A and B are shown apart, each in its own frame.
Chain A
Amino acid sequence: MNRNNEGRYLYSVLNRGIEAEFAEAGVNGARVYTVVYRDLTAVVHACSDRPETADGEDEAMEWILEHIRVVDLTTEKFGTVVPFAFGTIIKGDDEVVSEWLGENYAALKAELSRFEGKAEYSVQIFYEQELLSGEILKKNPGLQAQKEKLTGIPRGTAYLFERRLEQKIAEETEALISGLAAEYEARIRDCSDSVHSEEKKPRVPEEYKQKKLFVFLACLVQDSKVQELGELLDRINEREGICVRFIGPFAPYSFVSLEGI
């Protein structure tokens, strides 16, 4: 392979110097090995600088799973890593990778020490409109009385009153939810090292599709604090009308930031 059209597919950077070859295959069956610079290691496989395109969605999915597996494996064996986005290829051979590690040594080291002993988790909190509406009605005798008045009045008038009542309940729900969101987020922050609010709507399993997401966070959590976070989420989950998804651990994908790299 000519150096000019060589490339290295990147999986992760480890916070120690380890020359190794992995028994497990990488993306598309590639041989995964490491490139070391001092006490930093990049996990790579050799490829051409013209990225391959997966043959259909199934194969692309397969490749992504393989990427995840290698990142998880390196995390398991060598502690927290700096993960690369899927499909990142550096132009050049091992020497170029090593140079790149050298050039960004300080930044990578700082980032890796920030991640030491931590992992990323996703927290999604949903509410069920109907359950919360019911709760609001129960707690608010005024609204309850209005609802009871609806029976026995002409249909046209009832319709108008019903709409007004619905709107009132929606407003109350909104207020309740934004209060809960602030409270939960603050408590989750207390257990986490760093928290990002996610902007994009997540893809969720079928059973969550009817529910409304109101807290969606990526949390960087210390290993020793995961249990505490889990217990907090349990308490939140116990509340009527609220349910929690707690997912992870992931390599710190949402928290990697190397300005200028």
Chain B
Amino acid sequence: MLPQRDTCTLVDLLDRLLEKGLVLRADLIITIAGVPLIGLNLVATLAEMETMLKYGIFEGLDKTTREWALEHNQGIPFMEGEKALDKAYGSYRFDRGKKTAWKYGYIYVTDRRIFSWDKGLRRFLFEFRPEEVKAVKMEKRLYNEKERDELCIQFQDETSLFLHVERIRDFKKSIETVLSSFEV
């Protein structure tokens, strides 16, 4: 067997070139935390996250990311002065002409809007303002061959949102409270 050196062995060389070889004393060499600037682009693409962290490239970035996440994960993105009236974990489904699947999340009712927020992904699952709502009513519907109460929120544009939560009657009251404060 003869040793191979061709294009498909290039990657074997990369590990050597980027992580091995003679490295100079720190005060003589210009690099960012051990990785020369010149190679940054490539290293960033090829190296695993671990290696990057070992070199410290991402430490700054990572710290900022974590701080951001901490700050934003802690709370829900309430607007300044916005007051939460109710919160429930439940499922929701939109009806916009075609049926969509039930999804789960925390649903918040505030004095300004109703929304669901995904903490993990830090994004709104849905969000609407009282002005957009035409009517709220309780409906008996079938779910897994059993009848249950679902809260149907009809919007001005004729689409609907169905909610199912544990204390569905209380939740309906909370929503109605917000809606009524806007009707005045």
CA distance A220 to B2 in the complex (A): 15
Interface size in chain B (residues, C-beta < 8 A)? 38
Contact segment of A77-85, A141-149, A158-166, A173-181: A77-85
Using a CB-CB cutoff of 8 Å, which residues 179-209 of chain A contact chain B?
200, 202-205
The digit string for A223-236, where 1 denotes a CB below 8 A from any CB of B, is 00010001101100
Cβ–Cβ contact A51 & B36, under 8 A: yes
Cβ–Cβ contact B37 & A231, under 8 A: no
Using a CB-CB cutoff of 8 Å, which residues 18-68 of chain B contact chain A?
18-25, 28-31, 35-42, 45-46, 51
B5 lies within 8 A of chain A by Cβ: yes
Which partner residue on chain A sits nearest B28 by CB separation? A90
Q: A52-B37, A53-B38, A88-B24 are in contact. Are A248 and B17 (CB under 8 A)?
A: no
Please report the number of residue pairs spanning A and B whose Cβ atoms sit closer than 8 angstroms: 151
Cβ–Cβ contact A64 & B5, under 8 A: no
Q: A200-B15, A203-B14, A203-B15 are in contact. Are A87 and B22 (CB under 8 A)?
A: no
Looking at chain B's contact residues, the main secondary structure is helix
B99 lies within 8 A of chain A by Cβ: no
B12 lies within 8 A of chain A by Cβ: yes
Known: A88-B36, A230-B1, A256-B21. 18 other contacts (CB 8 A): A10-B24, A54-B39, A65-B10, A83-B21, A84-B23, A85-B23, A85-B36, A86-B36, A87-B37, A90-B28, A90-B29, A203-B14, A204-B11, A230-B2, A230-B3, A246-B2, A247-B5, A247-B12
